[in-house]
């Protein structure tokens, strides 16, 4: 992959003095997405569906902004493994609440099953994060693992769920 090699993105960005603009563009996209999520939640609160609609917003990967001379994803460093993950559940979600606990995208299904009072399939991986929605500081003792889809020879990123 050329983008992750010495002659890839980092060289181009530094040679053309684009680092600040690259970070600015990334942060602008986050601000835009955040504004749109706020608009969605405001509209939902004014609707007849406010008490029976759950919203889950997530991305499939994190992003590097020049750390270790790396841009984009395609790495096992923590920045590429972190993803945006927002859950809005009526009666549980509190404005501006954030949990610093480690969760996994595999936790989405069991969380939605519990919130909807549906039976979860036991053979699937993942754990409900409803306790974290109720109390963002609640303890969670599961591991979150990240394996690259392309290069499985590298060691996986493993982060303990208990901070």
Tokens of 43: 């509209």
Q: Where are the alpha helices (DSSP H) in 16-152?
A: 19-45, 78-81, 108-115, 130-134
148 pLDDT band (50/70/90 cuts)? Answer: low
| Calpha distance 156→146 (Å, rounded) | 6
Domain that holds residue 145: 2-160
Q: Render pLDDT for 2-58 as a digit per residue (tens, 0 to 9).
A: 555 667 888 889 999 999 999 999 999 999 999 999 999 999 999 999 999 999 999
Q: What is the pLDDT of residues 47-89, one digit of tens each?
A: 999 999 999 999 877 788 888 888 887 777 777 777 888 999 9
**Total number of domains constituting the chain:** 1
Angle at 33 between CA 31 and CA 35, to 5 degrees: 70
At residue 160, the pLDDT reads 53
Asked if 35 contacts 49 with a C-beta cutoff of 8 angstroms, the reply is: no
Residue 149 has pLDDT above 60, yes or no: no
CA–CA separation, 106 vs 111, rounded Å?
9
Q: What is the pLDDT of residue 142?
A: 67
Which residues partner with 158 through β-bridges?
145
Spatial CA neighbour of 107 closest among 79, 140, 73: 140
The pLDDT of residue 81 is 76
What is the C-alpha to C-alpha distance for residues 163 and 145, in angstroms, rounded to an integer?
A: 15
């Amino acid at each position: 992959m050329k983008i992750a090699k010495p002659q890839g993105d980092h060289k181009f960005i530094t040679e053309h003095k684009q680092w600040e603009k690259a970070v600015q563009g990334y942060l602008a996209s986050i601000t835009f997405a955040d504004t749109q999520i706020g608009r969605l939640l405001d509209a939902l609160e004014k609707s007849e569906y406010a008490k029976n609609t759950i919203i889950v917003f997530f991305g499939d990967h994190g992003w590097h902004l020049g750390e270790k001379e790396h841009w984009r994803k395609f790495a096992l460093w923590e920045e590429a493994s972190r993803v945006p993950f927002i859950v809005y559940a009526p009666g549980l979600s509190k404005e501006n609440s954030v949990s610093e606990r480690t969760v996994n995208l595999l936790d989405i299904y069991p969380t939605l099953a519990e919130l909807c009072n549906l039976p979860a399939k036991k053979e699937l991986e993942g754990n409900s994060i409803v306790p974290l929605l109720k109390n963002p500081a609640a303890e969670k003792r599961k591991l979150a693992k990240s394996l690259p889809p392309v290069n499985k020879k590298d060691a996986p990123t493993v982060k303990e769920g208990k901070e």
